[in-house]
Amino acid sequence: MIRWLDMLLAQYNYLLRDRRETYEQVKAPKMGNYCNIRSQGEVCPLTCSVSKSSSVGYPWKKSQNNPRRSPYEIQSSTLPVLKKQRPWYKQIHSTVLQQMLRQLDVAFAKFFKGESKYPKPKRRSRFRSFKYSPGQGKIDENKIYLPGIGWMGFHNSRSIPDGFAMKSVTVRRKSRGWFVSVQIENKSVPLPPTKKTSEIRPDRVKGCDLGVRKLVSVSDGKTIQNPSNSKKYKRQARRLTLRQRAASRKKKGSSNRKKSFCLVASLHEKITNKRSACHWEVAKELTTGSDAIVFEDLNIKGMKSRCKPKPNDKGGYDRNGQSAKRGLNRVISDAAWGELIKKVEVMAGKSGIPVIKVNPRHTSQQCPRCHHISADNRKGEKFVCTECGYHDDADVNGAVNIRTRGLKKLGIDSTQLPWP
Ligand SMILES: [Zn+2]
């Protein structure tokens, strides 16, 4: 499996470079005899066969009405050639190779939709999984069949319920060993449709204010504490620092260093698992008994950005507060709001509850009763309106404002609501 990963990584990066080069080519064609040396595509636009997406494979289909192949199909047509030129690629199961191409295709599709950055070549440490197409694996109690590898013993942590069929199988390498995840599907269980606006009861809409100390403050007055404040978490964080320090002191390239970084990685994994388990619980709590969930649309990256350097007259730099901010940045990363929202979206999707994001501007300074906005309204933990004297917990007040904005976005009249 390690060998497979290495080979897949090499091929992934090669095909990524291929798509990258052709993309650059379309943006700014190079002049010369050939516009692409490798594919020997000519420069004249009338005869140029260079595709926008790939130049390694064959770009045309047999059919007349839609003659161009998609980038995935073009690259897929190189697989037989690859297996001929490099016979050792034959040992990788064919659907695993195809899924690797899909992975690359998805990366580009996301980029063209504007959802993610331009795909980068992967490092060995970042390429840790391979996937089979649906219908390939088999499970027999404590054994799993992976085509191309064979039957293997494994710990069956959750049996597949009756009526569900196995879809794709993903094998993942982690610091503590190999993990396999199986997608299952039961067509007879329909997904509930997303709730329509008329079906949403305004009093069952939850606004959620995300924070550092209180992870979530809900508009109904509930607050959920952040687990990273717990003693146990802090002890683990301390242990992580110690392990990291010990590891980085080991001689570079030594096997001792490798071993100690393995320990660091396994602790990281433990912490991640704990956090994700806690997030699932929070997601469950939020989705039960609600018709819609409203979050603030946070720019987490912007919040964590570095402070601008402050140059002074002496040619040096004044303190800009970055070292103080570093602690806050870490706390923000630890809270992992983005991950939490994703999990809530998954949970909500299962019961057809819409998840809405609203602009967070002034949500903590606005009075929900008279809509007066002032920075003086908020006094630490408390919210007291300087105009009408309305008071509440500051975070809950933020959540109430978020809910009001969410209702407005949904097109529900929130003025008929019983007062918060
Ligand atoms: Zn007020």
Q: Give the tens place of pLDDT for each residue, 163-175.
A: 889 999 999 998 8
Ligand 1: distance of its center to the CA of 363 in Å? 13
Ligand 1: distance of its center to the CA of 296 in Å? 21
Ligand 1: distance of its center to the CA of 347 in Å? 35
Alpha helices for 250-354 (secondary structure H): 255-287, 300-303, 322-335, 337-350
What is the per-residue pLDDT for 321?
81
Helices 255-287, 231-249: crossing angle, 10 deg rounding: 160
User: Which residue bears the tokens 């059919």?
Assistant: 63
Q: pLDDT tens digits, residue range 233-271?
A: 899 999 999 999 999 999 999 999 999 999 999 999 999
Ligand 1: distance of its center to the CA of 362 in Å? 14
What is the per-residue pLDDT for 49?
44
Ligand 1: distance of its center to the CA of 63 in Å? 68
What is the per-residue pLDDT for 150?
94
Q: Which residues contact 283 (CB under 8 A, 6 or more apart)?
A: 340, 343, 344, 346, 347, 348
Domain ranges of the chain: 2-127, 130-185, 197-410
**Taking the model in full, what pTM does it have?**
0.79
Whether the per-residue pLDDT at 414 is higher than 60: the answer is: yes
User: Which residue bears the tokens 């839609």?
Assistant: 66
Q: What confidence tier does 127 reach under pLDDT thresholds 50, 70, 90? A: very high
Ligand 1: distance of its center to the CA of 377 in Å? 9
Pull the structure tokens for residue 287.
């989705």
Ligand 1: distance of its center to the CA of 374 in Å? 10
Ligand 1: distance of its center to the CA of 386 in Å? 7
Q: pLDDT tens digits, residue range 351-407?
A: 889 999 999 888 888 888 888 888 888 888 888 888 888 888 888 889 999 998 999
In the chain, what percentage of residues exceed pLDDT 70? Answer: 91
What is the per-residue pLDDT for 33?
55
The mean per-residue pLDDT over the stretch 130-134 comes to: 94
Give the burial string for 355-367 (b: 16+ CB within 10 Å, else e): bbbbebeebbbbb
What is the per-residue pLDDT for 29?
59
What is the per-residue pLDDT for 257?
94
Ligand 1: distance of its center to the CA of 197 in Å? 29
Give the burial string for 128-138 (b: 16+ CB within 10 Å, else e): bbbbbbeebbe
Under 8 Å between Cβ of 275 and 321: no
Ligand 1: distance of its center to the CA of 57 in Å? 66
Ligand 1: distance of its center to the CA of 42 in Å? 70
Ligand 1: distance of its center to the CA of 32 in Å? 70
Helices 337-350, 255-287: crossing angle, 10 deg rounding: 50
Please write down the HEC assignment for all residues of 57-101: CCCECCCCCCCECCHHHHHHCCHHHHHHHCHHHHHCCHHHHHHHH
* Residues β-bridged to residue 180: 171
Ligand 1: distance of its center to the CA of 404 in Å? 15
Ligand 1: distance of its center to the CA of 368 in Å? 7
Q: What confidence tier does 64 reach under pLDDT thresholds 50, 70, 90? A: confident
Pairing between β-strand 310-311 and β-strand 214-218 as defined by DSSP bridges: unpaired
Residue type, 170: T
Ligand 1: distance of its center to the CA of 371 in Å? 6
Q: Within a 10 A sphere around the Cβ of 51, how many other Cβ atoms?
A: 23
Ligand 1: distance of its center to the CA of 384 in Å? 8
Q: What is the mean pLDDT of the chain?
A: 86
In the chain, what percentage of residues exceed pLDDT 90? Answer: 44
Ligand 1: distance of its center to the CA of 380 in Å? 17
Cα–Cα distance, 335 to 412 (Å, whole number):
31
DSSP assignment of 111-145 equals: HHHTSS----PPPGGG--EEEEPTT--EEETTEEE
Pairing between β-strand 41-42 and β-strand 177-185 as defined by DSSP bridges: unpaired
Give the residue among 96, 99, 102 at the shortest CA–CA distance from 147: 96
The mean per-residue pLDDT over the stretch 101-114 comes to: 92
Under 8 Å between Cβ of 130 and 96: yes
- Specify which of 178-192, 245-259, 315-329, 406-420 reaches the highest per-range mean pLDDT: 245-259
Pull the structure tokens for residue 154.
């494994």
What is the per-residue pLDDT for 420?
46
Ligand 1: distance of its center to the CA of 391 in Å? 8
* Residues β-bridged to residue 16: none
Ligand 1: distance of its center to the CA of 354 in Å? 30
What is the per-residue pLDDT for 339?
92
* Residues β-bridged to residue 60: 68
Cα–Cα distance, 21 to 220 (Å, whole number):
54
Ligand 1: distance of its center to the CA of 210 in Å? 23
Cα–Cα distance, 24 to 29 (Å, whole number):
8
Ligand 1: distance of its center to the CA of 392 in Å? 11
| CA neighbours closer than 13 Å in the CB half-sphere of residue 367 | 17
Cα–Cα distance, 92 to 106 (Å, whole number):
21
Ligand 1: distance of its center to the CA of 383 in Å? 10
Ligand 1: distance of its center to the CA of 397 in Å? 11
The mean per-residue pLDDT over the stretch 320-324 comes to: 82
Backbone angles phi, psi at 380, to 5 degrees: 60, -115
Pairing between β-strand 129-132 and β-strand 143-146 as defined by DSSP bridges: unpaired
Pull the structure tokens for residue 378.
């908020």
Ligand 1: distance of its center to the CA of 316 in Å? 47
User: Which residue bears the tokens 């069956």?
Assistant: 156
Ligand 1: distance of its center to the CA of 217 in Å? 20
Ligand 1: distance of its center to the CA of 367 in Å? 5
Under 8 Å between Cβ of 297 and 360: yes
Cα–Cα distance, 204 to 218 (Å, whole number):
12
